[in-house]
Each structure stands twice: as C-alpha cells, then as structure tokens.
Structure 1
Amino acid sequence: MTPDGIVSRGADGVEEHHRTRGVPRTMRVYLAGWSDELRSISRDEAVPIALLLMTIATENGPASIGDDLVRIPVRREPRYVDDETTPDQISVGPCHPLLATAREVMGDQAIDRGWLQVPANNIRVAARYIRGRATVHGYDPILVAASYNAGSIRKSGANRWHLRSYGNHLDRAAAWYGDACALLYETRELWSMDEAGLGRVGSPATLGVAV
C-alpha cells in the first residue's frame, strides 16, 4: 500500500498501480451525491472514507450515466424466496449488505428492505460491518474487500491476492480504492478525516504536499 493507492508486484517484478482508466469520475459522483452521509458516517464509525468509497463502487459499480448518481437497488441470490424467509439471499444498494447482515450488525431484527434502501442507513451498515472486523483486516483495503465479499478472510490460489473472493472482486476493489485515494487528494478538506493509519490516505504534511 502507498498513500495514493495500492501497488502490486507480479512474478516478473513489474509493479502495477491499481486504478481505473482516466479521472476518478465515479468517485466524484458518489462523493457529490452522498457527501454528508459519507463524512458523518466515516467520523461516527471511525472507518476511513476511502474504504467506504471503495466499498460503494465495488458493490454498486460505476456511476455511469453522465454525472447522475446510479444505484443498483437490490440483488437476489439464487436461493431467494422472499425477504423474511431468506434475508441472507437479498442485498440492497449502494453497499449491498445482505438484509440478514444489516439486522445482525445493527442489532435490530425489525430492519426491512425499505430501511436499508435509505443511503445513510445502508452506508452505516457497511461501515459498522467493516469496523466490527477491524481486528482481522486492520483496515487494509484488500483484506477489507475480501472480508466484505466472502464473509471472512481465507487463503485461495484463485487470484493474485491469494484470498478467497468471488469473480474479480478484489481487482475491482483495488482499482476503486486507488480512485478513492486520488479523489481525496483532489478534495483536500477530506485529508483531516482520512489521515494516519493503514488503509487511509496520508495527510498533506506526511506526503510533503503544500496546501
């Protein structure tokens, strides 16, 4: 990890700086759309805002219709019957926690799909889930993404990260995390929220950047 994202080194020794192509437009759209929610939840839950942005983009995908915020409302897993019978088979955007997970981490079995569709509630569930596993992942973005996607951190030989995940989830998370870091460089007032510590963007003083 570097202050501006994730760099990996392949077997040939070549370094790869993980980013999406072009400017971090998707991150700009997400921050503009949910700025208040992201800022307050990051502070309340003590979860780096870069990780929240990474989670939203990895789970929800790019905000790809012009500059309009796009949200995938729900995903139903193959064994889904209905919300009450199989709450572990439906997730709600933008962070796509399972309904069962939301009830567990918030300690409220009355939570329903409507409550989880409120972006502030949804992002808070994701933040609290991430915070609750901090002793396992240490806020390392790839470990956070693996835990969030697979429910735990397990070794695997199926990808370059050697961690269990589904599809190319960790590659996408690495790229979105790099974009989140790039956005935080642009948005200098966020430095004070996201400085110092693994998984966070360095402060201007740490990076030697003039402000």
Structure 2
Amino acid sequence: MKFGIIFCTIVGLCALFAGIYYFKLLFPVSLIFIIVALINAVFAYKEYNIQKSEKIIYDEITTPKEVLIKYSPSSIIIAISIYFIFIILGVFILYLTIINYDSSIIFIGTIAIVSGLLIFILIKIIIQTKDLSKIIISINEKGIQVKNSPRYLWNEISVEKITTKYIRNPDSKHQNNVYSNYLYFFHGSTKIELNIDDFDITDFQLAQVLKIFRNRYNSNTL
C-alpha cells in the first residue's frame, strides 16, 4: 500500500508544478492541474491513515460488534489519477481546437468526440469515488455479508479462512512469484471465494476477525 502514497505524491507534485508553470500561459489548464494536485493530496492522506490502521491488532476486547471492510484507496487513487491525466489532455485538445475555430466537419467531429470522452471519463471518476465508501464485507456475531448478498449465518458457514493462491509465471525462473489472498468459506455446500488484495484490511487482520466472531458466536450458542 506504500506504493499508493508514493504514486499519489509524485502525481500530485508533478500536477502542482505544471499548474504553477501554466498559470499565466493557460489558466484553464493550470486550474485542472492544481485540482489534480489537491485531489492527490487528499487521497494520499486517506491512504496514510489506512496504513496506520494496518498496525491494529484485533482482539476480543477491542474488536467492535461489527467490522466493515471497504476497498483500499490505493488502486482507486491510481485509477482516478490516470483519468485526470486524460482529462487534462482532453481539455488541452479542446482548447487548441477552439482557438483554431472553423466550421468544418473535422472541427465539429473533434469537439464532439473529445467532449464525449471527457463525459465518459467523468462518469468513471464518479463511479470510482463512490467505491471508496462502498462496504464490501460486513462481519458480525450473526455472520458474514458479502456486498449486497444476504448475510451468511455462522451456523451455515464452515471452514472460514484466508487462503493464498500462487500464479506461476512461465517466463520466470521463480515458480511462485505472484500470489493473491482470498476470503474462503463454505455456505452449506456452496464454496464462497472473494479476492481481498484491494481491501483496507490485511489478510492477517481478516483472519483474526474471522476467528473472533466465530468464537463469539460459539460462546453465545452454549
């Protein structure tokens, strides 16, 4: 997750310097660069707070009645930053097209295509931003809920754990050099698997949470 903060910092600084450079030359473009810098600063701060929470050790006393797991800002930050780069390029193209105005079909087509792409990118940014607050997993004494599905109750769940899958790269001398972590359990006879690599909780923390709530359920049913 440190990569997310580093990436945000680099993009934010580059955007800030570009905004200062273009301030007198192309103010609209400069304003977009400055906005990108501010957005990256906010996301970097959020990611920093997430990393601080990674040091939290869950135990029976401090764990709340319900643990809510969301996406980590890292991957969303990177996606949004890339989208803003395309927005800057699109606005710059629009600016160059408008100052060289003519009534040709090429001019109208360029305006329409670039405007359409900018609207599409803005919609993608809105969707990605909403994902920051979206609850993906909810775990409490009743059971586990994944996204908007009905809650799986503890008496219907078995073999809940965190598993790791290794992907072999045929071009590498190292056989197991890529891996992903999954939340894994059975609901009745149905196997449930969910990749947890992009969440705001580590695999170790999630394993702790599963054990704590399983123990709470077992204690309440005695």
Q: Which TM-score tier does this pair reach, normalised by the shorter chain?
A: under 0.3
Higher strand share: 2
More helix as a share of residues: 2
- Structure-2-length-normalised TM-score: 0.22
Report the TM-score, using the length of structure 1 for normalisation. 0.22
Structure possessing the higher radius of gyration over alpha carbons: 2
Larger RCO: 1 or 2 (CA < 8 Å, sep 6+):
1
